[in-house]
Amino acid sequence: MKEELEFNQNAFDNIDMGKSIIALVDCDSFFVSCEQKVNPELKGKPVCVLSGHGQCVISRSKEAKKLGIPMGIPTFKLTKEMKKATLIAASQDLYSEISNQVMAVLKSLSPKVEIYSIDEAFVDLTGLSRLYKKNYYELAQMIRELVLKKVDIPVSIGVSSSKSLAKLASDKAKNIQGGVFLIGAGKLNYVLKNTSIDEIWGIGRNLSKLLRQNGILTAYELVQKSDSWLDKQVGIRGIEMKHELLGEMVSVVDDSFKIPKSIQKTSAFGIFTSDIEFIKNQLNYHIHSACKKMRRLDLKCSGIGVMLRTKIEFKVYYEKITIPSPTCYEWEISDIVFSLLEKIYNPNIIYRSSGVILDEFSPNSGEQMFLFSDSEKKQKSERLAQCIDKLENKFGKNIIQTGFIKSDFR
Ligand SMILES: [Mg+2]
């Protein structure tokens, strides 16, 4: 422990095992932090977020952990003491909206960001030390402060010269003051000796068992093994793991494009309202930006969903449909969204936000004409969409308002 403290003070570790510097930015108790962001009176209190149907705990605040609430506990097993915590049902759309905001801040700082999960991203910091005139510890602190200031979400950051070590560092960052942990050449052996193989990224139960049977209990013991031994026992993955743990970047920060699982456009209204026309207007705005994104990615969707969130309880109403003939056009999606809206809208409820969720994507070009679709209409739609996108690219966002629901192109 004493030794570890000394290492923390030695924060200006000049990481030089490899040429790259990688940070893993990991949001602290992410789902709970999101709930605390939208409901600040929950800050500093025991709070738990429950899985979709409310059966078990999937995120806990520090204070909830202190009450002894274990991760994954089913709600019926909570003791009287544990029930002092505020229990909240998960709101996936809220979390992905806030996740996007966190990722946007990271992308504004580094050109290479790999979104690893909803609350974690690898950020390539190589060369940024010079750009921002800060050492890597200060740089990580700056990222942490910026995310907190702009999005109001606390993060922990691990910094090292490979992804595996950055991940390890971020686990250690969670438990120290300041939320930043660096693993550089000076600390490497100490950290590896104090890391059990189960803590290493990518080592599952089976591999852990195999390594243990061979007397390998720590990361340090793993890196002592020869490449040929690891190749024979574990395969290429074992060799890669060893070199990553020695600080060589085997797996690079991959910021390449992946087809998104869904495109979600949601936002809070400027005012709380029950006004259906206002809500439709907001939805049209979301539909338009989602369609634009879809066309930019050359995709069309079959899954169309709409959601409304209530003012008082933050309750979400959601309705989704899968259409037989995929589309990427506002005027087609708008009709469908409005008919879904009718199913969830209640004039007696006041709402705070709305959103559109598109998924089940397929490539737009080279499409098979749907049996009953009218090809002339399709071509007209395509030309109209191209026209809108061109105008917007030239004259700026939202130069064209989506008031064309009743247009001739339907
Ligand atoms: Mg996290």
pLDDT value of residue 358:
95
Q: Would the pLDDT of 341 be above 50?
A: yes
Give residue 136 CA to ligand 1 midpoint distance, Å: 21
How many CB atoms sit inside 10 A of residue 87's CB?
Answer: 17
150 versus 265: the higher-pLDDT residue is 150
pLDDT tens for 146-175 read: 999 999 999 999 999 999 999 999 999 998
Check residue 67 and give its pLDDT: 95
Query: Which pLDDT belongs to residue 371?
Result: 46
CATH class of 262-406: alpha beta
Distance (Å) from CA 137 to ligand 1 centroid:
20
The mean per-residue pLDDT over the stretch 107-134 comes to: 92
Find the mean pLDDT for residues 73-90: 92
What's the 135 CA to ligand 1 centre distance in angstroms? 25
Tell me, yes or no, if the pTM score tops 0.75.
no
Q: How many CB atoms lie under 10 A from the CB of residue 100?
A: 14
3-state SS class at 325: strand
pLDDT at 25 over 70: yes
Pairwise CA distance, residues 123 & 248, whole Å = 16
- Residue 393 binned pLDDT confidence (cut-offs 50, 70, 90): low
Distance from Cα 120 to the centre of ligand 1, integer Å: 6
Helix or strand run (H / E) with residue 352: strand 351-363
Question: What's the confidence (pLDDT) of residue 87?
Answer: 94
The token pair that represents 216 in the structure block: 């390998």
| Residue 283 pLDDT > 90 | yes
Q: Write the DSSP symbol of residue 23.
A: E
Lowest mean pLDDT among 20-29, 49-58, 201-210: 49-58
Helices within 177-235 (DSSP H only): 185-193, 205-213, 219-223, 227-233
Residue 252 banded pLDDT, cuts 50, 70, 90: confident
Calculate how far, in angstroms, residue 12's C-alpha sits from the geometric centre of ligand 1: 24
Q: Are 307 and 267 in contact (CB under 8 A)?
A: no
Asked if 194 and 158 touch (Cβ cutoff 8 Å), the reply is no
Write down the pLDDT at residue 396: 63
* Distance from Cα 179 to the centre of ligand 1, integer Å: 12
For the cut 70, the answer to whether the pLDDT of residue 8 exceeds it is: no
Q: What is the pLDDT of residue 93?
A: 74
Name residue 339's amino acid.
S
Give per-residue pLDDT as tens, 167-197: 999 999 998 889 999 999 888 999 999 999 9
pLDDT at 26 over 90: yes
Between the CA of 25 and the centroid of ligand 1 the distance, in Å, is 9
- Check residue 369 and give its pLDDT: 46
pLDDT of res. 399: 59
Residue 321 to residue 309: CA distance in whole angstroms = 19
pLDDT in tens, 304-337: 999 999 998 888 999 999 999 999 999 999 999 9
Separation between Cα atoms, residue 94 and residue 273, nearest integer Å: 19
Residues 212-227: tens digit of each pLDDT: 999 999 999 999 999 9
Ligand 1 center from residue 237 Cα (angstroms): 25
Helix (H, G, I), strand (E, B) or coil at 157: strand
- Distance of CA 122 from the midpoint of ligand 1 (Å): 13
Percentage of the chain with pLDDT > 70? 87
Residue 31: per-residue pLDDT: 96
The rounded Å distance from CA 119 to ligand 1 centre is 5
- Would you list the DSSP string of 322-381? EEEEEE--HHHHHHHHHHHHHHH--TTS-EEEEEEEEEEEEESTTPPPPTT--HHHHHHH
Work out the average pLDDT over 65-69. 95
pLDDT at 367 over 80: no
Residues 245-252 have a mean pLDDT of 90
Q: What angle do CA 24, 123, 235 make, to 5 degrees?
A: 65
